[in-house]
Amino acid sequence: MDEDFKTQALESALPSPSETLLSIRLLDFKTSLLEAIEELRIRRVNLFTLALQETLQHQTDTLQQQNKEAMAAFKKQYSFCYKGKYQLAVETKEKEIDGLKETLKALQISKYTLQKKLNEMVRK
């Protein structure tokens, strides 16, 4: 009788074939669900990474454009400054040349006048 009790207890402890199949299907479903969740998690991380890369690329492009604009403005300002200095130097030299020409004319007139006086003194 003790053996019958053990056999019955063992048989009642073992699931029926339909329960075993159901357990296998449930385990398969849980595994598939976990795989899908993990895949979604990986896709979310990848999308975040991609969005971060796009944001960084956009910021890089913006900074490069700002740098180009700043360099163009600097070159333009430098060009004006250089042209201004060059223009000022040209104008100063032109004024010096004009001054020297006037001084030369005055000296030539003075020389002519002195030559004329010398010739008159020699005649006398």
Beta carbons within 8 Å of 65's beta carbon, 6+ residues apart: none
User: In this structure, what are the phi and psi dihedrals at residue 15, rounded to the nearest 5 degrees?
Assistant: -75, 160
Residue 43's pLDDT is 95
The tens-digit pLDDT sequence of the chain (124 residues) is 566 656 665 556 666 778 888 999 999 999 999 999 999 999 999 999 999 999 999 999 999 999 999 999 988 888 777 777 778 888 888 899 999 999 999 999 998 898 888 888 888 7
Site of tokens 């005649």: 123
Residue 65's pLDDT is 95
